[in-house]
Each structure stands twice: as structure tokens, then as C-alpha cells.
Structure 1
Amino acid sequence: MIHDIAVVGIDVSKQYFDIHIHPAGKSFRCGSSPHEITQLARRLWELGPVAVGLEASGGYESRLADGLHAAGLEVYIVAPARVRSFARAIGQLAKTDRIDAAMIARYLAAVRRDLTPYAPDPACRRMHAISAHRRRLLAERSGLVSQLDTIDEPLVRDLIEERLRTIAQDIATLDAAIDDVLTQTPRLRKSHARLRQVTGVGPVLATALLADMPELGKVSAKVAAALVGVAPYARQSGATERNGRCAGAENICATSPIWPYSAPSRSETLFLAASINGSECAASLSNSPSSQPCESSSQSSTQSLDQTRHSHSRSTVACPAHLQRLNFIECD
């Protein structure tokens, strides 16, 4: 096979990076300081046409990805679970940092044409950080309020109440910061306003969707539903065909009040996820009764959705006609 581009896999840790160059088979390690990242970018640039793959590593990959992107390199952030499954599929059971870097490179070489290169979005990143901390404060507040029901010691109660007042002030500060981000970013402000047009979507949910689903406006309604975790995956083998199973939900489903209805039906939750993009809605509500499972497209399910964030497959979902107007394609 003739390789027209070098593929680099980087295993990210807090203190250093392990790098593997495919197909040359060269491996080396470098530190994670800003100066060392600059040197690494220069070294990779000298390879000629190159694609660089990093695993999502809880945020440790962000500074490296930004540095390599700023240097003009083609960067991809891939899902660790996908890389690990790829390694097992080719019989690589051992796992070390050096092996992980090689597996990232080989995985990227196999699927790069189906991926979308990393492109930093400072406004979305800031909103994500603010929203995530706001959720942590809300969780802490809920736990402290529960403790007040059972604690009688005056000193402890005073400390808890003081902490609750501080949390309330911090939440107000974060809300103001979110408003500033929306005010300063017309693209996000427009999307936020259009999300609010969906019945039941308030400012908190709209903000959570924009912060944790940067794919909005870039993918179809089907893909958006799969990202949220309400699009069933087809399960068919031979003559056996089972109902689709929903999986692969983003963290937003578990940490945000994403469903605005007190008791949403299956079709309502599907329609909400599908209509946040508004494009490619399959049918009206009358054509997709909530008592029936959402029909999955077996052909679409086989196509990789790594280009959206690297972890979800396509499904066919329907949305009501009055929501088809909500099209988040930026060029509309």
C-alpha cells in the first residue's frame, strides 16, 4: 500500500506525550510543556503532509490539540473506546502508552476519511466550562439542602447555610457569564433564540444543548437524536429483527434537565432531539405514533458517524411538521 500522508498517533497524559508515526513505525516521547508542544509541532510539520490523532483524555488533550492546530496541522480527536475496540479487533491485547499511540495512529489511518478535523471554538468551550461548573454547584446545593433536613447541630447548620448562600451567588455569576457569551457571540445567540422556540425548551436547556452539543447546526436531525441518545440502533440478524435499542447518549442527558416535560412520551423525546436541528425530519407526528418503536434505517446504521464526534450511528427519526421550520444550518 502506498501512503500519501503520514499518520501520527499521540497518547496523552498529564506529564508527557507518547508519539507514534505510521507507517514509518517510529516512536518517541516528549514533555507536555508549552515549549515542548511547540517543538513537537515543528517536528511533525517537517514530516510533510500529516494527520495527527489524539484520544479524548478528560481535557488534557485540549492544549496539545490547540497547539498543533495553530501550527497548521490536521488534528483529530478520537474516542478511546473506539481505539481500544480497534486494537482488540486486530489482536492487540497488551496496553501500554507506546502501544496506545501506535493503535491511535493505525485507527486514524483506517477511518480518517470519515472524520472531521478538530477545529477549536473558544465561545463554545467557554460556555461548556461555565455550564459544567454550574451543574456541579447545583449538585452540591442539592446535597447540602438534603443535609439540613437531618442535621440539628447549630454550628454545622450555620456553615451549610453560609455555603448555600455562596453557591447561590456563584450560580448568579455563572448565569451572567453565560449571558455575556451569548451577547458576544451572534451565532450562539441566534441558535439559543431558535431553540427557545421549541415548546418546553427554556434558557437552561437551550444553554445546556449549545454547551454540550457543538454539533448543533452541523449535523442532521437524525444524527442529533443519536447524539442525545434517543435514536434506536437497528438490531437485525438473519430472520430475527428486534426493536431498536437507544444507546450512546451524551453526558448532557445525565447531568442536565434535558427533557422539559414532566412525563414525556417516547415520541415527544424523539421529536425534541430531532427538531433541535430541524433538518431531514422524516414525517409528521401522525405518521409516527408514540406507541410504535421509531423505525431505524439499517443502511444508515452501518455508516460511521465519527465525523460528528466519533461515537454515534445514524437512525431514522420523525418530527412533527410544526417543528420542521427550526433549521439550524448556519447558511439559512
Structure 2
Amino acid sequence: MQGRFMMSIQNYGGIDIAKKHFVIGITGMAKTKTETNNSKGFQHTVEYLQKHHVSLVVLESTGGLEIPLAKALHHAGLRVVIANPRQTHSYAQSFSLGKTDSKDAKMLADYAQAIELKGLAANMLYQPPTVAEEELEALVKRRSQLVEMRTAEKNRLAQIHPSQQQSVEDLIRHFNTLIADLDKQIAKYNDSNFDGKNKIIGEIKGIGDTTCATLMSMLPELGRLPHKSIALLVGVVPPAKQSGESVGKTGCTGGRMEVRNALYMATLTASRFEPKIKAFYERLIGKGKPFKVAINACMHKLLRILNARVRDYLCLDGLQCA
């Protein structure tokens, strides 16, 4: 009887990741377990979590270090959430000001249980990108890196000694060539790998090939989640700041920065040329709203339009609807 009862218990896991190792915490267990951050450690982790009937695992977003482990856990059938460190840090401070890898792992396990009990986990689950999405994301990120380097050289050109100007100009031209080549690759990749979904996104004025590629590769949930969930995922919904009669200024934080930045640039253009966004922007400005408030509201509206269009496309195509 006791054995059957123990088998029915569902535990929650948290994993604190570093470059060479990671620490595993499980709800209700005082001790943590340390594993090597490699494929052998991933297999040991899967076996350990399954042995203790873990139903949900939370990892923090750590600049990509968490992705290989998250993929391994997902492919083993475990539910995985990659959490925003800002949110988990706030959660941790409500319990303890101390910080160690073991404490962080236990805290993440508690956080996993909390979001499950509140019904939040379902819309936060990690879904590994497809091969096409990964390759497109690599192209977009490389383009962004080259644009940053080109901007640095352009800024340097105004200050550099005349004897070195030619060198900087040559490098800028080289960056121009590389970026133009990547633009062609991105456009070709968009057209050949996403069955027309990219064309639905690109119909909106302001959404160019690079923005479309960013959305396709870094926001695969587009069209598959409710509007509120997708807005929170991107980070275009400012959190409320109100206590008593005091109302503080709000701003958008967290979310997927690359997607939000691309959406911001697209919104600037859409606010001038896309009829619905333009009318909405002008109405907000006419009411005296500051520029940043109006643009953020337009970003939110543009994202809702994109989400609805992709959702309708997926439904027509016989896929899962949001």
C-alpha cells in the first residue's frame, strides 16, 4: 500500500546550470545532486528525475547554456520550463537572501511546484525548435552580430587618424557584402522552409524579411498561444505598479529581447504605413499619450494581429489552434 502511494506522488525539479556542472534539486529532498554538463550527465539526470517521479523541471535562462539540457529532458518525456531569471530571483528573495548553487536548485524546484499549482506551467513549457528554426535563428543572430560590428566601425571612422581611414572603410564595405549575402540567405530560407507561414506575417507593412525571420525562428509559439500569453512571452505588457493611491511608472521588462527589438522597429514603420496601426497610433497621440506609451501599445496591437493571422492560418492548415 505504501509503495503504491509513493508511486503516485509527483515531485518537482529545479536545475541550477553552470558552464561545467549543474545542480539538481527536488521538492521534499534535503540533498541536491551535481552532474557534469555533458551528454553523460544529461542521461544521469533523466534517470535521477524519473526515479524520483519528477513531473516538471525548471531551469533558468542563462544565455544558451541551458538549451542542450532542456532538449535532452524534453526528448526524454519530461516537461521543462526555462524561466526568466528576473522572476525566479524575485521568488527566491521572498524566502532567503542566501545564494548557493544548491539553494538555487531547491528554489527552482519550489518555483516549479508554485507555477504548476497556479496553472501557469502549461503555457510556459519549453518546445525545442525545429532544425529549420535553429538554422534560421543562426542566420538572424549572425546578421545582428555583423550589423553591430559595422556600426562600431562607422562610429570609429569619425575619430580615427586619417592614415587609417581607408582600412576602416574597407572593413565597412566588407561588412556590407557579408550582411547583403545573409539577407539573401534569410529571404531564401524563409520562402523554402515554412510552408507560407512567413507570407502571412510579411503581408503587414513594416514586417521585412529580417523581422519575419526573427519571429519565425525565435517565436515559434506565434499563433499557438492566447494573445495574453504571447504578449507576456515577448515582454510587451508592462506590469502594473500600484499601491494604495500611488501609481508608479511602468515599462516593459523581461521577455525575449531579440523579438521585442525586431517588433519595435517593425512598429515604427507600421505606425506610418499599416492602416490599422497608423490609425491606432494617431488616436493615442491625439489623446496626449507620450510617444513611448503609444509605440508600446502599437507593438502590443501588432503582435495581437500577427498572432491572430498565424492562428487562423494554422487552423486552415489543419494544425493546432490557439
Normalising to structure 2: TM-score of the pair? 0.75
1:127 matched to which residue of 2?
Answer: 136
Provide the residue aligned with 1:194 in structure 2.
Answer: 200
Q: Contact 2:25/2:32 (CA < 8 Å) preserved in 1?
A: yes
Separation in 2, partners of 1:75, 1:326: 26
The alpha-carbon deviation at position 16 of structure 1 amounts to 0.3
Which of 205, 209, 215 pairs up with 2:221? Answer: 215
Q: Which has the higher helix share?
A: 2
| Distance change >3 Å, CA 192–CA 233, structure 1 → 2 | same
Query: What is the identity, as a one-letter code, of the residue corresponding to 1:258?
Result: M
* 1:258 aligns to 2:258 (yes or no): no
SS in 2 for 1:328: helix
Query: Could you tell which deviates more after superposition, 99-108 or 196-205?
Result: 196-205
Give the match for residue 83 of structure 2: 78
Unaligned stretches of 5+ residues in structure 2:
1-5, 290-296, 317-322
For the 8 Å contact 1:52–1:74, the answer to whether it is kept is yes
Residue in 2 that maps onto 1:93: 97
Instruction: Choose 19-28 or 221-230, whichever is displaced more.
Output: 221-230
Give the letter for the 1:55 counterpart. E
With 113-122 and 241-250 compared, the bigger mean Cα shift is at: 241-250
Query: Is the Cα–Cα contact under 8 Å of residues 230 and 269 in structure 1 kept in the other structure?
Result: no
**Deviation of the 1:226 alpha carbon:** 4.8
| Partner-residue secondary structure (3-state), 2:205 | coil
Matches within 5 A, 1:20-99: 20-90=25-95, 92-99=96-103
The 5 Å alignment of 1:159-238 reads 159-187=167-195, 190-238=196-244
Structure 2 matches for 1:279-318, cutoff 5 A? Answer: 285=280, 289-292=284-287
1: CA distance between counterparts of 2:115 and 2:233? Answer: 19
User: Aligned to 1:201, what secondary structure does the other structure show?
Assistant: coil
Q: Is the 8 A contact 1:259 1:269 kept in 2?
A: no
Going from structure 1 to structure 2, the CA distance change for 1:248 and 1:324 (only over 3 Å counts) comes to closer
Q: Is the 8 A contact 1:16 1:30 kept in 2?
A: yes
Q: 1:9–1:102: 8 Å Cα contact kept in structure 2?
A: yes
Identical pairs, percent: 25
Does structure 1 conserve the Cα–Cα contact (< 8 Å) formed by 2:19 and 2:37? yes
Structure 1 gap ranges (5+): 273-283, 295-314
Deviations 1:53-111 (A, max 9, x none): 11111100011111111222222211212111111112x11001111101000111111
In structure 2, the residue matched to 1:305 is none
Alignment of 1:109-128 (within 5 A): 109-112=113-116, 113-115=119-121, 116-122=124-130, 123-128=132-137
CA-to-partner distance for each residue in 1:134-183, whole Å, 9 max, x for gaps?
112111111212322333443x3343234334323332343243234323
Distance 2:308 2:41 in 1: 46
**Alignment equivalent of 1:327, drawn from 288, 309, 312:** 309
| Letter in structure 1 aligned against 2:142 | H
Distance 2:162 2:172 in 1: 16
Aligned residue pairs total 291
